[in-house]
Amino acid sequence: MVEESGPTRAGFVALIGEPNAGKSTLLNAMVGAKVSIVTHKVQTTRARIRGIALEGTSQIVFVDTPGLFRPRRRLDRAMVAAAWGGAADADLIVLLVEAHRGITGGVEAILDSLRDRASGQPVALAINKIDRVEAPVLLGLSKDLNERFDFAETFMISAEKGYGVADLKTWIAGALPEGPWLYPEDQIADLPMRMIAAEITREKLTLRLHQELPYQLTVETEAWEERKDGSAKIDQVIFVARDGHKGIVLGKKGETIKAVSQAARAELSDFLERPVHLFLQVKVRPGWLEESERYSEMGLDFRDGNA
Residues that bind Mg ion (CB under 5 A): 23-24, 44-45
If the CB atoms of residues 37 and 60 are measured against Mg ion, the closer one turns out to be 37
Residue 127, burial from CB neighbour count under 10 angstroms (0-12, 13-18, 19+): buried
Q: Which stretch binds ligand GTP (CB under 6 A): 37-45, 181-189, 213-221, 225-233?
A: 37-45
CA distance 94 to 53: 15
Does residue 131 touch ligand GTP according to CB under 6 A? yes
DSSP characters over 85-104: HHHHT-SEEEEEEETTT-S-
Q: Which residue is at the shortest CB distance from ligand GTP?
A: 67
Contact status, residue 214 vs residue 287, Cβ threshold 8 Å? no
Does residue 45 touch ligand GTP according to CB under 6 A? yes
If the CB atoms of residues 10 and 83 are measured against ligand GTP, the closer one turns out to be 83
Pick from 158, 206, 218, 221 the residue near ligand GTP by CB under 6 A: 158
If the CB atoms of residues 156 and 175 are measured against ligand GTP, the closer one turns out to be 156
CA distance 66 to 36: 11
**Shortest distance, position 126 Cβ to Mg ion, whole Å:** 14
159, interface contact from ligand GTP, Mg ion, none, CB < 5-8 Å by kind: ligand GTP
Q: In what order do the strands lie in the sheet with 276-284?
A: 217-226, 232-240, 276-284
Binding residues for ligand GTP (CB under 6 A): 17, 19-25, 38-40, 42-45, 66-67, 128-129, 131-132, 158-161
